[in-house]
């Protein structure tokens, strides 16, 4: 059997690329991560594989490119079925996809609003973000993971964004631990996994990176 | 054959082909091995339809994939096919029952999704029997393209459902608020009292649970990723341009928005050529995921065309998509759902008036 060629176009701070790395690691799939310099020039492979968005991650599996992190994780689940990241029953899967969609629409953008705002808007953004955390707390309930007893699809999509929480906390002047202890506990639990810890960027470095982004958009 | 060092966790019945037993208890992959069902406490009732007159309930938790093993003590082998998993824990069954009586197993959890890939044929038949009598409601709104999507999917699968029109721009019904507390929007599908939200999530759910009719999503993983990519593109990037044409406050904004829609149509025309491979639909011979995702927006595209005096779906610039749009809108699963363009146009005008009156 010929070996699979799996390439991931990556950027160290991208939470979306981290999703793909975690999924591949959970499945035990060997892959080559290629760093893209998103603040500099984008590689030819990136521009060719993802002409519409020109973003990471891109998964190139035996020459075929898959774009969009959530879709990449679904593709990884479909292609390498064990261990399963989604529950076996259709309703459980629909529920997972619903929360995946919520995380996609709200979490990163909600956090970004905090450091992209100035003046009074920051407080508004912070309050909205805390609301989002509360909703996610509700989804987590008494479960260990969003996936139930096992680490799964929604956990993979959400955990990388938590590397940016320190930055949100600094700019928003709040602590996730105080506002949402359940989410805090869930983060700690996920970080015990090798698949998560190995690619998870240092939150202080992410904070520095956010500082850089703020300069770019003229906030500093 | 590998033997697992892990002890069997009983009781389990998996993939029963023995003439003594009718139903299977879970999906399997194509080698016949079961997938773990950690999340799912299945309850299977065993009825003795013969003389002994008892019933036994068994709980199945923590299935583990089993390799072929020797029959452990306290278990009985009940399948003659060496590739299928075969053991039943006798301590949970009446002794005589396995050897002598016929059982019919009734699955209590209907929404098992065993109609997912690689499910056993026997299982599919059992589940279909149960879901055919299942209760399906759709909360929708006549003007919402998102709300048409699950209905198109249900029509494609020949599934009966109760449609509950929501006048949700005026007042949100209790049922809507209860079923979709997070977004408070249509569509919502309620299947045996369980709500499913987000139109494309619902379409995937329908595809997995109802197995009659053609598949909506492709079976190949890569093709599925492509289908999902375009579904996401249509809903995230393209739809925001479409909406922006209606919400635009200046001519400049409107122009940009219209350009966005046109660019999207060019991309989709290219995608159609690649994906349809010369057939009628993105899904090939049958209506598929991208067809539903994009097709549901066609009536609003026509409204935007009329409001602005532009041609967005241009027959010369996008001939394939143009031809496709006619086929899609006249498809039996679709044509009765789509409102008259003029009615939608009137509605659009009232919406626009409302938006320009209120601060955004």
Q: Which two tokens stand for residue A101?
A: 């969609």
Name the CATH superfamily for B135-213: Glutaredoxin (3.40.30.10)
Average pLDDT, chain A: 95
pLDDT, one tens digit per residue, over A151-164 is 999 999 999 999 99
ipTM tops the 0.85 cut: yes
Q: Which residues of A touch B (CB under 8 A)?
A: 52, 61, 64, 66-68, 70-72, 74-75, 78-79, 81-84, 87-95, 97-98, 101-102, 135, 147-150
Delimit the domains of chain B by residue range: 11-125, 135-213, 219-360
Predicted confidence band of residue B164 (pLDDT cuts 50, 70, 90) = very high
The answer to whether residues A22 and A196 touch, using CB atoms and an 8 Å cutoff, is yes
Strand residue runs (E) in B75-116: 75-77, 87-89, 103-107
What single DSSP character describes residue A82?
S
Q: Is the pLDDT of residue B54 over 50?
A: no
Phi, then psi, of A103 in degrees rounded to 5: -60, -45
Predicted confidence band of residue B151 (pLDDT cuts 50, 70, 90) = very high
The helices-and-strands tally (H runs, E runs) of chain B is 12, 9
Residue B150 distance to chain A (closest CA, Å): 13
| Window from A23-27, B79-83, B171-175, B298-302 with minimum mean pLDDT | B79-83
Average pLDDT, chain B: 73
pLDDT, one tens digit per residue, over A56-79 is 999 999 999 999 999 999 999 999
pLDDT given for residue B357 in this prediction: 79
Residue positions counted in chain A:
220
| Window from B10-19, B147-156, B278-287 with minimum mean pLDDT | B10-19
Non-local CB neighbours of A134 within 8 Å, separated by 6+ positions: A180
Predicted confidence band of residue A3 (pLDDT cuts 50, 70, 90) = confident
Domains of chain A plus CATH, in order, are 6-79 (3.40.30.10), 90-216 (1.20.1050.10)
pLDDT given for residue B73 in this prediction: 56
List CB contacts (< 8 A) between A93 and chain B: 113, 204-205, 208
Average pLDDT over residues B125-145: 73
The SS3 of residue B246 is helix
Q: Is the pLDDT of residue B29 over 80?
A: no
Q: Is the pLDDT of residue B58 over 50?
A: no
Q: Is the pLDDT of residue A17 over 50?
A: yes
The answer to whether residues B93 and B52 touch, using CB atoms and an 8 Å cutoff, is no
Tell me how many residue pairs between chain A and chain B have CB atoms under 8 A apart: 99
Could you give the percent of chain B with pLDDT greater than 70? 62
Cβ separation of B208 and A93 shorter than 8 Å? yes
pLDDT given for residue B85 in this prediction: 41
Q: Is the pLDDT of residue B345 over 90?
A: yes
Non-local CB neighbours of B332 within 8 Å, separated by 6+ positions: B155
Cβ separation of B39 and A147 shorter than 8 Å? yes
> In angstroms, rounded to a whole number, what is the distance separating the alpha carbons of residues B128 and B125?
5
| Window from A82-91, B106-115, B273-282 with minimum mean pLDDT | B106-115
List CB contacts (< 8 A) between B221 and chain A: 75, 78-79
Q: Is the pLDDT of residue B17 over 90?
A: no
Non-local CB neighbours of B196 within 8 Å, separated by 6+ positions: A91, A94, A95, A98, B188, B189, B190, B202, B205
pLDDT given for residue B9 in this prediction: 37
pLDDT given for residue B72 in this prediction: 54
Average pLDDT over residues A195-207: 97
Average pLDDT over residues A88-108: 96
pLDDT given for residue B12 in this prediction: 40
Separation in Å, CA B149 to CA B206, B213, B296: 11, 16, 6
Residue B228 distance to chain A (closest CA, Å): 7
Q: Is the pLDDT of residue B63 over 90?
A: no
Residue of A4, A60, A65, A89 best to disrupt the B interface, most CBs of B under 10 A: A89
| Window from A106-120, A173-187, B15-29, B242-256 with minimum mean pLDDT | B15-29
Residue positions counted in chain B:
360
List CB contacts (< 8 A) between B39 and chain A: 87-89, 92, 147-150
Q: Is the pLDDT of residue A122 over 90?
A: yes
Q: Which of A68, A89, A90 sits opposite B229 (nearest CB)?
A: A68
Q: Is the pLDDT of residue B64 over 80?
A: no
- Which chain B residue lies closest to A97 (C-alpha atoms)? B201
Cβ separation of B225 and A75 shorter than 8 Å? yes
List CB contacts (< 8 A) between B182 and chain A: 102, 135
Residue of A88, A97, A102 best to disrupt the B interface, most CBs of B under 10 A: A88
List CB contacts (< 8 A) between B26 and chain A: 88
Instruction: State the CATH class of domain B219-360.
Output: mainly alpha
Residue A81 distance to chain B (closest CA, Å): 9
Q: Which of A52, A74, A95 sits opposite B228 (nearest CB)?
A: A74
Could you tell me which of A36, A37, A30, A29 has the C-alpha nearest to residue A58?
A36
List CB contacts (< 8 A) between A147 and chain B: 39
| Window from A98-112, A119-133, B52-66, B327-341 with minimum mean pLDDT | B52-66
Cβ separation of B26 and A71 shorter than 8 Å? no
Cβ separation of A88 and B208 shorter than 8 Å? no
List CB contacts (< 8 A) between B202 and chain A: 94
Q: Which of A71, A79, A97 sits opposite B204 (nearest CB)?
A: A97
- Which chain B residue lies closest to A139 (C-alpha atoms)? B182
pLDDT given for residue B19 in this prediction: 32
pLDDT given for residue B13 in this prediction: 41
Cβ separation of A97 and B209 shorter than 8 Å? no
Q: Which residue has the higher pLDDT, B61 or B309?
A: B309
């Amino acid at each position: 059997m010929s070996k699979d060629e799996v390439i991931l176009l990556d950027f160290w701070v991208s939470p979306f690329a981290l999703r793909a790395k975690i999924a591949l690691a959970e499945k035990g799939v060997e892959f080559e991560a290629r760093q893209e310099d998103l603040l500099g020039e984008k590689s030819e492979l990136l521009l060719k594989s993802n002409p519409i968005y020109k973003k990471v991650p891109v998964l190139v599996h035996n020459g075929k490119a898959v774009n969009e992190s959530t879709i990449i994780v679904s593709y990884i689940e479909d292609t390498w079925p064990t261990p399963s990241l989604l529950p076996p029953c259709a309703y459980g899967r629909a529920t997972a996809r619903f929360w995946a969609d919520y995380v996609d629409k709200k979490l990163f953008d909600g956090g970004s609003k905090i450091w992209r705002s100035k003046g009074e808007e920051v407080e508004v953004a912070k309050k909205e973000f805390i609301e989002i955390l509360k909703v996610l707390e509700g989804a987590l309930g008494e479960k260990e993971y969003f996936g139930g007893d096992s680490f799964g699809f929604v956990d993979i999509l959400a955990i990388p964004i938590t590397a940016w929480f320190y930055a949100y906390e600094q700019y928003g002047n709040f602590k996730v631990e105080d506002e949402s202890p359940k989410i805090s506990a869930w983060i700690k639990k996920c970080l015990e996994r090798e698949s998560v810890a190995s690619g998870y960027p240092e939150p202080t470095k992410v904070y520095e990176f956010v500082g850089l982004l703020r300069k770019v958009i003229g906030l500093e | 054959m590998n033997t697992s060092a892990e002890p069997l966790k009983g009781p389990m019945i998996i993939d029963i082909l023995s003439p003594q037993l009718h139903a299977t208890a879970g999906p399997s992959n194509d080698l016949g091995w079961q997938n773990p069902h950690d999340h799912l406490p299945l309850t299977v009732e065993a009825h003795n339809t013969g003389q002994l007159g008892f019933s036994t309930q068994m709980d199945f938790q923590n299935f583990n994939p089993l390799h072929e093993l020797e029959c452990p003590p306290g278990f009985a082998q009940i399948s003659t096919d060496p590739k299928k998993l075969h053991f039943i824990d006798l301590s949970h069954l009446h002794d005589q029952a396995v050897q002598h009586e016929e059982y019919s197993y009734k699955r209590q959890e209907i929404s098992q999704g065993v109609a997912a890939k690689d499910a056993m044929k026997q299982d599919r038949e059992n589940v279909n029997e149960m879901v055919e009598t299942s209760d399906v409601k759709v909360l929708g709104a006549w003007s919402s393209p998102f709300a048409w999507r699950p209905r198109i999917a249900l029509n494609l699968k020949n599934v009966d459902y109760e449609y509950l029109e929501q006048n949700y721009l005026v007042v949100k019904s209790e049922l809507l608020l209860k079923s979709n507390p997070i977004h408070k929007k249509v569509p919502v599908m309620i299947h045996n009292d369980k709500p499913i939200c987000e139109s494309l999530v619902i379409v995937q759910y329908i595809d997995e649970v109802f197995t009659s009719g053609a598949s909506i999503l492709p079976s190949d993983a890569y093709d599925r990723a492509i289908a999902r990519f375009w579904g996401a593109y249509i809903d995230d990037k393209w739809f925001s341009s479409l909406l922006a044409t209606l919400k635009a406050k200046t001519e400049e904004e409107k122009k940009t928005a219209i350009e966005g829609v046109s660019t999207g149509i060019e991309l989709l025309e290219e995608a159609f050529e690649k994906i349809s491979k010369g057939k009628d639909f993105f899904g090939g011979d049958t209506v598929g995921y991208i067809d539903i995702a994009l097709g549901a927006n066609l009536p609003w595209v026509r409204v935007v065309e009329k409001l602005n005096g532009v041609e967005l779906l241009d027959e010369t610039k996008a001939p394939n998509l143009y031809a496709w749009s006619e086929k899609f809108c006249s498809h039996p699963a679709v044509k009765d759902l789509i409102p008259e363009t003029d009615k939608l146009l009137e509605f659009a005008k009232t919406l626009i008036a409302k938006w320009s009156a209120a601060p955004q």
